[in-house]
A and B are shown apart, each in its own frame.
Chain A
């Protein structure tokens, strides 16, 4: 089975700060890590490979330094690493990202795609499902267990608010994972040695035959106008006096609001 795992490099949540002047994420000096949900996705892919055989390809879209998370993925059991990187991808929202990833995943080839439920920086949880739609394959989100692998279909448990669903998904397909699915392994020494030497395949917009109009900022219908920490400054007014007077004053305040 050829399994593609999408991994994203994100700022370590422990260090995240907003720059109060620009209202953007202060990335300077903030350590980058593999998106925690993606660690679980990778672990599940490696376990599936160990069970039924095949290869695991870690794939990341991002700037050249995202190669670090790909090396980490190799240290944790991925066989190959693919970096999808091009200046033209900058500013991509989830629509453009899923388009780009779909082109890349198709280029790489796959039987199964596994993603983390969401990334801890954007928190949209849209890229996994978006990618499946672009690839025109079935998908299941928030998978908490893979209970069976049977040739061309998987048995999955999808976490719900009030329990879980048991589902079958034909392959090729895609699922996204929640943390409960497994306990990710620590990289091995041999894995780290391999990761140090492995050649990361880099794919540009041209390599995946992407339409420039669908990439990056140009291909993104949504744009982040402002990022800010909500301020909850409440104005307090005390209404005093006789009960009837208080009621009258309160009604007047409410009427002004509506």
Chain B
């Protein structure tokens, strides 16, 4: 309920208020049904668009609000308090847009970003393949320049969030295998491009309101100017994108953790056993206390990291990875604890915490597993301490 005063500006408080109202009035009443029926949350995305939140992180010259990482974190935390599946869908559009914002020419930004900012079109980001998960160098999708004016893409992307629902896709493909990490480039592919189709739709443990699908490229032809940045800069764009997006995933952990804590405390106050509300038992109090400590510590770290990024800091990989690990491991633990506090009720689908537990797991896996994040942190430490 109450949390530390983080001294939000008036605008930041407005973002929280708008996102909170959407969460309470639109997301929470529908989340169980959307999860159960694995339905894509089109109407709720339209509500978010109508409230101008799709443009939160987008520069004003492209129709956005011109906000930063922190603004995005504040909104995502609220949405995740309601449903991580819906919050993921929203975040995935940003993930798909970042490569265009980071590396796109002004012309290509003008073409795609205003629609994404207004929520008229949704974006998706496609990196993962069957043999390229944590090891991004295993990418097999290729792009070949044909006759000098069209790229021809071949390959299959896997587990793509918003696949089949988004209209704009940012894709990484190999343009010169001999060049290793400098041999990959990023492209924009549109829904309906010739040779571009959707494959299997996945059935998942959690975040079931979100769509996860294969993207199939069979001699998919796109105009030459759909490449983002120079040839060979694909990995740079991907790394920069993930550095910016990880605090967002961390904030999904904070929102989910807060929701799990809220449910657990309210239940513990009402559930009577041995003639007393179970919150009066120290065994339960200590679980709740540990949950609260971890939620607040994670929130403080995520907010601090987002503010650090917004200050213009360049080397943010380590910090961005640290907050992702901290907040998402917390979310998993706190969600499991919430189910324990609710006991038999917590295990029933009638109560929201079992869904939180299912949803929490993906946060430790996607946008770089928490093991890969630790690699990033470890390598950064090694580098930092080698300087002297």
Residues of A whose CB lies within 8 Å of any CB of B are 185-193, 196
Q: Give, as a whole number of angstroms, the nearest-CB distance from A248 to chain B.
A: 50
Interface residue SS majority, chain B: helix
B202 in contact (CB, < 8 A): no
Q: Give B1-49 interface residues, CB cut-off 8 Å to A.
A: 10-11, 14-15, 17-18, 21-22, 25-26, 47
Cα distance A188–B48 in the bound complex, in angstroms: 9
Cα distance A196–B10 in the bound complex, in angstroms: 10
B65 in contact (CB, < 8 A): yes
Q: Which residues of A contact B53 (CB under 8 A)?
A: 189
Cα distance A125–B346 in the bound complex, in angstroms: 44
Q: Which residues of B contact A193 (CB under 8 A)?
A: 11, 14
**Is B50 touching A185 in the complex (CB atoms < 8 A)?**
yes
**Contact pick for B26, options A186, A187, A190, A196, CB 8 Å:** A186
Q: Which residues of A contact B284 (CB under 8 A)?
A: none
Residues of B whose CB lies within 8 Å of any CB of A are 10-11, 14-15, 17-18, 21-22, 25-26, 47, 50-53, 56, 65
Most buried by B among A190, A192, A193: A192
**Is B51 touching A188 in the complex (CB atoms < 8 A)?**
yes
**Is B22 touching A186 in the complex (CB atoms < 8 A)?**
yes
Most buried by A among B11, B18, B53: B18
**Is A190 touching B47 in the complex (CB atoms < 8 A)?**
no
**Is B15 touching A189 in the complex (CB atoms < 8 A)?**
yes
**Is A186 touching B47 in the complex (CB atoms < 8 A)?**
yes
Q: Name B25's closest neighbour in chain A (CB-CB).
A: A186
Q: Give, as a whole number of angstroms, the nearest-CB distance from A92 to chain B.
A: 32
- 10 CB contacts below 8 A, A to B, read A186-B21, A187-B21, A188-B51, A189-B14, A189-B18, A189-B51, A189-B52, A189-B56, A192-B14, A196-B10
Q: Name A189's closest neighbour in chain B (CB-CB).
A: B52
Q: Which residues of B contact A189 (CB under 8 A)?
A: 14-15, 18, 51-53, 56, 65
Q: Give, as a whole number of angstroms, the nearest-CB distance from A39 to chain B.
A: 10
A186-B25, A189-B14 are known; give 5 further A-B pairs, CB within 8 A. A186-B47, A187-B18, A189-B15, A189-B18, A189-B65
Q: Which residues of B contact A191 (CB under 8 A)?
A: 52
Cα distance A188–B118 in the bound complex, in angstroms: 12
Cα distance A193–B13 in the bound complex, in angstroms: 12
**Contact pick for A190, options B21, B25, B52, CB 8 Å:** B52
Cα distance A193–B52 in the bound complex, in angstroms: 11
Q: Which residues of A contact B15 (CB under 8 A)?
A: 189
**Is A188 touching B52 in the complex (CB atoms < 8 A)?**
yes
